Copies of this chain bind each other. A is one copy, B any other.
Amino acid sequence: MKTNKNIYARACNVLTGGVSRNTIYREPHPYYVANAKGSYVTDIEGVERIDFANNMASLIHGHAHPVINEAVIEQIQKGTAFTMGTEAEVRFAELMIARSGTFERMRFVNSGTEAVMTLIKTSRVYTKKPKIAKAEGAYHGTYDYAEVSQTSNPDNWGTIDKPNSNQVVEGTPQGALNDVIIFPFNDIERTLKILDEHADEIACVLIDPVPHRVGLFPATNVFIEAVYKWTRKNNALMVFDEVVTYRVNYSGAQESYSVKPDLTAMGKIIGGGFPIGALAGRAEIMEVLDPRGKILRHPHSGTFSANPISTTAGRVAMELFDEESVLKLNALTTIAIQQIEESIKIADVPVSITGEGSMFRIHLQENKPICYREAYHTNEKKKIIKDLLDYLFLKEHIIMINTCACMFATSMTQKEVDRLSESLLNGFKVIKPQLYQYH
């Protein structure tokens, strides 16, 4: 019989650490999916769980949505990839541009990592400047420049007035680290001071407007306005990474701000469950990618970029995620947060919640963190979170993201929300002794 344990044993013989993505690793072994439908995932041992992770926020309608599947299966019969165009890419780009005020032109790629890489390269071409600025702790994929200081810790993060540019992967070339300026998210005064020191060299200020790893709380409007104003004055671009946050409003988290990014990277939900990334923004900037120019300033292709499977699945998923659907999902998420806050009160634990739109993150601390350094997990805290998530996964059959976050899907109803808040109440009671010992 197949068990999670024996599949993992096989995996260890062929995949490093037995996994192809660190995300799925759990101690003592990961779990393997047999099938999934809507918000429910059944593992190969027959255990059904409610999925609040949705493949790291990428499934806005849950699993195996029948309308998406039907469209994809139809396209599969016609072919999945060509050395020619398809109307699918045009239709999807038309839809995305129609729902946004800031998108004039798009390009599709294969992942969020590729989207952010293309965004940074495009910013450098357009501004003729080599550096980027990004927030300490913010995750933007695995491109060297984009990942600098994502995992900074108390031993290496330096002063908050001038956070260090730290490597995430050993052996990152010093040249790459030198070309990334780190600022503290939402901290206007310090950020502007840091940016000013490199004003002549910064191509773009890269912002995830609700950065998950920083603490999953939104950028303030005054912060975004200050960055925007700075970029106008210094011939730089303000660019958003909305790979995770596009779900926040009908036209992305950027809808909440009085000023808008020049370029936006996307991924996750806009693939409808299939690999995708995208870059969109002002036509004048995107023009550096135009293949019709005499000089190719930014030659760009990609074997599977804009393939008709991802663009068809993505279009259908985004059609279904219309204005009403976005509002309904956000409202359900708000109810969930309220119920969990009630659970926190009943359990009487020092726990807080941050979030925006259809996402939230639970912090094992009384006051909501307002910066990366406050939200940072010490080893002790990591251990308690692991115990909580293990309890939820193994005993309550609830799947959450390993930062203690939930990313909702339209497949959810009040029933799943009730299960979540009850399970968390039980979980809080389990970790309560550890929490008080820690504080």
Residues on A facing B (Cβ under 8 Å): 2, 7-8, 10-11, 13-17, 19-25, 30-37, 41, 43-44, 51, 53-56, 58-59, 63-64, 69, 72-73, 76-87, 89-90, 93-94, 97, 105-114, 117-118, 121, 124-125, 127-131, 142-144, 151, 168-176, 178-179, 203, 267-268, 271, 273-276, 283, 286-292, 296-310, 399, 401
Pull 29 A–B residue pairs with CB atoms less than 8 Å apart, ordered by A.
A7-B85, A11-B90, A13-B97, A15-B90, A15-B105, A16-B107, A17-B292, A21-B301, A21-B305, A21-B306, A36-B79, A41-B82, A43-B84, A44-B87, A54-B83, A64-B77, A79-B273, A83-B401, A110-B304, A117-B142, A121-B171, A125-B170, A142-B300, A143-B143, A169-B297, A173-B175, A173-B176, A267-B303, A268-B303
Measured CA separation A31–B169 after assembly (Å): 42
**Given A16-B289, A76-B72, also A11-B85 (CB < 8 A):** yes
Instruction: Select A273's contact among B51, B80, B83, beta carbons within 8 Å.
Output: B80
Instruction: Select A24's contact among B83, B112, B179, beta carbons within 8 Å.
Output: B83
Nearest 3 A/B pairs, CB to CB: A175-B175, A124-B171, A20-B306
Please give the count of copies of this chain that the complex contains.
2
Provide the residues of chain B in CB contact with A151, threshold 8 Å: 296, 299
Measured CB to CB, the closest approach of chain B to A289, in angstroms, equals: 5
Asked if A84 and B22 sit within 8 Å, CB to CB, the answer is: no
Instruction: Select A22's contact among B33, B41, B118, B291, beta carbons within 8 Å.
Output: B291
Instruction: Select A89's contact among B20, B117, B169, beta carbons within 8 Å.
Output: B20
Q: From A43, which residue of chain B is reached at the shortest CB distance?
A: B84
Asked if B169 and A84 sit within 8 Å, CB to CB, the answer is: no
Asked if A33 and B82 sit within 8 Å, CB to CB, the answer is: yes
Asked if A2 and B83 sit within 8 Å, CB to CB, the answer is: no
Provide the residues of chain B in CB contact with A16, threshold 8 Å: 105-107, 283, 286-287, 289-290
Measured CB to CB, the closest approach of chain B to A252, in angstroms, equals: 17
Provide the residues of chain B in CB contact with A288, threshold 8 Å: 170
Asked if A303 and B125 sit within 8 Å, CB to CB, the answer is: no
Asked if B32 and A86 sit within 8 Å, CB to CB, the answer is: yes
Provide the residues of chain B in CB contact with A43, threshold 8 Å: 84
Instruction: Select A81's contact among B55, B83, B109, B307, beta carbons within 8 Å.
Output: B55
Provide the residues of chain B in CB contact with A93, threshold 8 Å: 11, 14-15, 20
Instruction: Select A15's contact among B80, B107, B170, B172, beta carbons within 8 Å.
Output: B107
Given A11-B89, A125-B170, A268-B303, 12 more A-B residue pairs with CB atoms under 8 Å apart are: A15-B89, A20-B107, A20-B305, A79-B273, A83-B399, A109-B111, A117-B142, A124-B169, A124-B170, A130-B174, A169-B299, A175-B178
Provide the residues of chain B in CB contact with A203, threshold 8 Å: 171
Measured CA separation A30–B174 after assembly (Å): 42
Measured CA separation A109–B81 after assembly (Å): 18
Instruction: Select A80's contact among B24, B83, B176, B274, beta carbons within 8 Å.
Output: B274
Measured CB to CB, the closest approach of chain B to A73, in angstroms, equals: 6
Provide the residues of chain B in CB contact with A55, threshold 8 Å: 81-83, 303
Provide the residues of chain B in CB contact with A289, threshold 8 Å: 16-17
Provide the residues of chain B in CB contact with A301, threshold 8 Å: 21-23, 142
Measured CB to CB, the closest approach of chain B to A164, in angstroms, equals: 17
Asked if A84 and B121 sit within 8 Å, CB to CB, the answer is: no
Measured CA separation A7–B88 after assembly (Å): 10
